[in-house]
């Protein structure tokens, strides 16, 4: 079976590289990457074994403002490739860009497809591209399956953008398949046995230093915990546009806050995780956030944002608690709840992280490809 993947974001994140490298050898995978003529990439994800990787530079920055023109250019480029004549299935890794191409391929070549709905689809194209919404619904209608990385994304799209007449049909063919984390974290799961008390609570944040990540609220949380008699401390790992503001806040609280720049060594980051007790990242807006999953691999219960990112994938209290990112008192209360049930929550973290193995995730996708391929050929 020959599966065509379409993903313009391929060179910039390890997600799709990990997926390709964890597929079995049963099928042939072709990763087609439509890039802007001026885009650059470092090639660190180019080694994908026996799978094929094709970069195409057939559109310009101006084309992004002319959606159907861009789709036509990418489609024309694909038709020039010989692989299209033996393509059995398409995996479109984004709804609007890749999904638009997959939709045309199904109409013109009768090639089935699945399509993923991701952060930029919901928070940019659906939100601001009002003129594209009708076409996006057609893409969803024609897809064999629709993939969401979290229940939050699925609920938001169904409630806000899908017409009521199509709600049930779209829901029936929707699946939640998360992204995975590197095998390093699965091979180094850390189970905890300690009991937390008021004299020792280490909070940890790992991420970009931006306004969206809400770090001043995390610092206020630590100060409130201490005011309530809980000797909390905080470690911040990262960098970004708000670094100066964060550094100033850290300087005023040096006795209780440690600050590190980005840590690229997995071994060093692992040790940071293991010295902490609770991972806290109550972002204003959040994608799935694989750093949360790395944290639970180290037995760290989570504080995360309600109706964002991983919320909905876990039930409240399962691996931590969702909160209003602007409500310091609620965050403090949820940290206390974690402390009161620390061992049980930490143990669940280690057990549930197994769902985020790229090997398991790739197997789920292969079953989807094969089910539609088998069904289609059985009815010929």
Higher-scoring residue by pLDDT: 275, 38: 275
Mean pLDDT of 13-21: 94
**Which of helix, strand or coil describes residue 351?**
helix
Q: Given pLDDT bands bounded at 50, 70 and 90, which one contains residue 374? A: low
112: which strand partners?
A: 89
Alpha-carbon gap, residue 213 to 210, rounded angstroms = 5
Mean pLDDT of 164-193: 95
pLDDT of residue 375 exceeding 70, the answer is: no
User: Which two tokens mark 170?
Assistant: 């779209």
Q: What was the pLDDT predicted at 228?
A: 95
Q: What was the pLDDT predicted at 83?
A: 87
Mean pLDDT of 223-250: 96
Q: What was the pLDDT predicted at 91?
A: 98
Query: Going by DSSP bridges, is the β-strand pair 174-176/145-148 parallel, antiparallel, or unpaired?
Result: parallel
pLDDT of residue 196 exceeding 80, the answer is: yes
* Maximum separation of any 2 CA atoms in the chain, in Å: 72
pLDDT of residue 32 exceeding 60, the answer is: yes
CA dihedral of 294, 295, 299, 305, whole degrees rounded to 10: -130
Residue listed under structure tokens 């109409």: 107
> Is 0.85 surpassed by the pTM of this model?
yes
Q: What is the DSSP string of 272-288?
A: HHHH-SEEE---SS---
Q: Tens digits of per-residue pLDDT, 289-320?
A: 899 999 999 999 999 999 888 998 999 999 99
Per cent of the chain over pLDDT 70 is 98
Q: Tens digits of per-residue pLDDT, 55-114?
A: 998 777 777 788 888 999 999 999 998 889 999 999 999 999 899 999 999 999 999 999
């Amino acid at each position: 079976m020959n599966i065509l993947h379409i993903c313009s974001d391929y060179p910039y994140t390890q997600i799709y590289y990990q997926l390709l490298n964890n597929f079995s050898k049963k099928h042939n995978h072709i990763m087609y990457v439509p890039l802007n003529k001026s885009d650059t990439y470092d090639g660190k994800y180019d080694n994908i074994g026996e799978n094929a990787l094709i970069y195409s530079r057939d559109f310009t920055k101006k084309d992004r403002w002319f959606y159907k023109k861009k789709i036509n250019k990418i489609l024309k480029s694909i038709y020039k490739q010989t692989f299209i004549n033996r393509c059995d299935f398409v995996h479109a890794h984004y709804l609007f860009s890749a999904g638009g191409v997959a939709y045309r391929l199904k109409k013109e070549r009768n090639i089935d497809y699945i399509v993923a709905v991701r952060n930029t689809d919901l928070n940019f194209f659906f939100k601001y591209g009002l003129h594209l919404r009708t076409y996006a619904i057609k893409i969803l209608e024609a897809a064999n399956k629709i993939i969401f990385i979290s229940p939050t994304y699925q609920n938001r799209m169904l409630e806000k953008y899908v017409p009521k007449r199509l709600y049930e049909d779209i829901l029936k063919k929707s699946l939640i398949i998360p992204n995975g984390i590197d095998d390093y974290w699965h091979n180094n799961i850390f189970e905890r046995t300690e009991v937390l008390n008021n004299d020792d609570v280490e909070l940890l944040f790992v991420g970009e230093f931006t306004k969206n990540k809400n770090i001043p609220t995390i610092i206020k949380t630590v100060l409130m915990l201490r005011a309530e008699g809980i000797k909390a401390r905080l470690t911040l790992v990262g960098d970004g546009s708000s670094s100066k503001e964060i550094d100033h806040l850290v300087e005023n609280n040096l006795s209780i806050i440690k600050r590190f720049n980005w840590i690229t060594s997995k071994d060093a980051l692992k040790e940071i995780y293991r010295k902490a007790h609770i991972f806290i990242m109550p972002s204003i807006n959040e994608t799935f956030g694989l750093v949360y999953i790395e944290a639970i691999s180290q037995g760290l219960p989570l504080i995360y944002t309600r109706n964002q990112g991983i919320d909905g994938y876990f039930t409240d209290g399962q691996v931590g608690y969702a909160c209003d990112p602007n409500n310091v008192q609620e965050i403090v209360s949820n940290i206390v709840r974690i402390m009161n049930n620390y061992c049980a929550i930490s143990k669940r973290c280690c057990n549930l992280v197994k769902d985020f193995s790229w090997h398991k995730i790739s197997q789920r996708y292969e079953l989807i490809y094969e089910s539609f391929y088998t069904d289609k050929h059985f009815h010929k």
